[in-house]
Chain A
């Protein structure tokens, strides 16, 4: 509740949250929200400008752009969130194992992570797509494969700072089982770190995945996806540059919303930051974890 209260004080965060909620709901219930079938071809409406019937106009096959944008939420945003969830979950399990039990298991997991992270993520994703072939599922698999290592590493750091605290040691001494300690005493305190870490990488993931679709490596025509819509618009950009506008703005708005939310979440989850806002000094122990993923832009 405290988190929500802090968030609601931040007007930008409230707006961002609203945008994200609307996007997700529109994506899940796309058939209800989309005025037309996204794949319905209507050559008489080719390149039609926006009208009351087709609010964003029509594309090179006369398909309703608004409907395509709404259906495009599914691959462009919803599936990205699913992949993020999977890789955070995998990273969290390994990160907890490594950070809590330490020793040999930690060494092994961290060596694997080091090797994974020594591959440039983008190249790795391309390699996986190269092997499995083009398609949205393969891009999603590639991203789940390259992202978990980074999450495992950061979550481990977060777990480690709590695993050494006195109350955890005391619980161990009284003979409470390790799993009980993890779920009762460590998961709740690391949860805010994990939330900030994962929300911070949604934006860049949406950009990267839409980038792959833009290259024609992702979802195949005629299915709508924002990156692919931009790719289709690029072919007629000299004559019809306005077609670039809607899908591009959709990406910018959603990614900005996620980025703003992640920043506000970081503040809302950390009481020290709420009070001092931006004015903290580096040596104040607010969190040992570097929270922002700035690994690859797009």
Chain B
């Protein structure tokens, strides 16, 4: 197990390096001249050749590409991502708190997703083929076809405006979490509960269940055994879901005006604020790799067969 963990972590390090390089290359592929973007953002009325040269020097854009990459990489490690082109603030002071807000939303939603997936998955598996199973599955089918932002807007309109129960947007109190978490849970639990359901159903056909029944074990105890064996799936779902949600809360955050990475990045894209886009991609990719590594390690811990995969 120890050697697996070491190997798994060693695999992620070069991946992170490649990702950081790709991020840098991507931004430098832009057809726009960053110096021009900065000057436009600062509202300079007339952009002259001299001014462009001067800004390039200030931004260090006159250095060769590889050197710039190393400078950027080393300062990124120290969480120094440069300054926003638009308002001149350090990128980390904008992106750090935003990342934390997104992370909070993601973690709480993941817990809700796991809870709902297990509840629905187990219910459906135990009542397989009955009305309740069919209706839950049918309903989830329609729910997963709904655009999450549409659902979110309808909920804001109904719950926050019509009934006036919850705040419409922003992150003002704990009640602000309720609507975004519900919307995210609906769009993901509808997918993941199927995995739990099928895992339960597979376990139902195992020999140990037959043996338990044959030796007269009460049905409740058998269910507990099945549940424990199916739970492994839910842990790997948890590992899978966190990084995916972290990267795809963009739309939900914008609808609810959640002060997270999603809102920040869309604003940065519309304003062509490259340092923020760069830092956003790098941080999320790093978080993605980190969570994937952790979930792989947990999976290998639960299932020794996976340890030989590397």
Any A CB within 8 A of the CB of B120: no
A127, B142: Cβ atoms closer than 8 Å: no
Interface 9-mer from B64-72, B145-153, B213-221? B145-153
B269, A248: Cβ atoms closer than 8 Å: no
Nearest residue (CB) in B for A259 is B145
A118, B244: Cβ atoms closer than 8 Å: no
Nearest residue (CB) in B for A207 is B147
Q: Mark A223-256, 1 if CB is under 8 A from B, else 0.
A: 0000100100010011001001000100110011
B285 to chain A, nearest CB (A): 5
A131, B150: Cβ atoms closer than 8 Å: no
Once bound together, how far apart are the Cα atoms of A230 and B147, in whole Å? 10
Contacts of B198 in A (CB 8 A): 282
Q: Which of A94-124 contact B (CB under 8 A)?
A: 114-115, 118-124
Once bound together, how far apart are the Cα atoms of A212 and B133, in whole Å? 34
Any B CB within 8 A of the CB of A297: yes
Q: Which of B258-282 contact A (CB under 8 A)?
A: 265-266, 268-270, 272, 274, 277, 280-281
Q: Which of B95-142 contact A (CB under 8 A)?
A: 141-142
A15 to chain B, nearest CB (A): 14
Q: Residue B277 contacts which of A130, A214, A217 (CB distance < 8 angstroms)?
A: A130
Q: Given A215-B250, A297-B187, A297-B248, A227 and B26 touching (CB < 8 A)?
A: no
Any A CB within 8 A of the CB of B284: yes
Any A CB within 8 A of the CB of B3: no
Q: Residue B147 contacts which of A115, A118, A251 (CB distance < 8 angstroms)?
A: A251
Nearest residue (CB) in B for A203 is B145
B150, A126: Cβ atoms closer than 8 Å: no
A118, B202: Cβ atoms closer than 8 Å: no
Q: Residue A215 contacts which of B157, B266, B268 (CB distance < 8 angstroms)?
A: B266
Contacts of A115 in B (CB 8 A): 15, 18-19, 22
Once bound together, how far apart are the Cα atoms of A139 and B22, in whole Å? 19
B189 to chain A, nearest CB (A): 10
Any A CB within 8 A of the CB of B292: yes
A256, B154: Cβ atoms closer than 8 Å: no
Contacts of B161 in A (CB 8 A): 238
Any B CB within 8 A of the CB of A53: no
Q: Which of B14-55 contact A (CB under 8 A)?
A: 15, 18-19, 22-23, 26-27, 29-32
B157, A211: Cβ atoms closer than 8 Å: no
Any B CB within 8 A of the CB of A210: yes
Once bound together, how far apart are the Cα atoms of A39 and B265, in whole Å? 31
Once bound together, how far apart are the Cα atoms of A230 and B270, in whole Å? 19
A119, B288: Cβ atoms closer than 8 Å: yes
Q: Residue A133 contacts which of B255, B266, B272 (CB distance < 8 angstroms)?
A: B272
Q: Residue A123 contacts which of B145, B147, B266, B284 (CB distance < 8 angstroms)?
A: B284
B292, A230: Cβ atoms closer than 8 Å: no
Nearest residue (CB) in A for B274 is A130
B26, A298: Cβ atoms closer than 8 Å: no
B298 to chain A, nearest CB (A): 18
Contacts of A127 in B (CB 8 A): 23, 26-27, 277, 280-281
Any B CB within 8 A of the CB of A62: no
Q: Given A230-B153, A251-B147, A252-B146, A121 and B247 touching (CB < 8 A)?
A: yes
Additional 15 contacts, C-beta under 8 A, given A115-B15, A134-B269, A237-B157 = A118-B285, A120-B243, A121-B247, A123-B281, A127-B277, A131-B29, A132-B31, A211-B147, A216-B270, A234-B153, A244-B157, A248-B150, A251-B146, A259-B145, A282-B202
30 CB contacts below 8 A, A to B, read A120-B243, A120-B247, A126-B265, A127-B281, A132-B30, A132-B31, A203-B145, A207-B145, A211-B149, A211-B251, A214-B149, A215-B254, A216-B266, A230-B153, A237-B157, A238-B161, A244-B150, A244-B154, A248-B154, A252-B142, A252-B145, A252-B147, A255-B146, A259-B141, A259-B144, A282-B198, A282-B202, A296-B244, A297-B148, A297-B190
Which residues of chain A have a CB within 8 Å of any CB of chain B? 114-115, 118-124, 126-134, 203, 207, 210-211, 214-217, 227, 230, 234, 237-238, 241, 244, 248, 251-252, 255-256, 259-260, 281-282, 294-298
Which residues of chain B have a CB within 8 Å of any CB of chain A? 15, 18-19, 22-23, 26-27, 29-32, 141-142, 144-150, 153-154, 156-157, 161, 187-188, 190-192, 198, 202, 205, 243-244, 246-248, 250-251, 254-255, 265-266, 268-270, 272, 274, 277, 280-281, 284-285, 288-289, 292
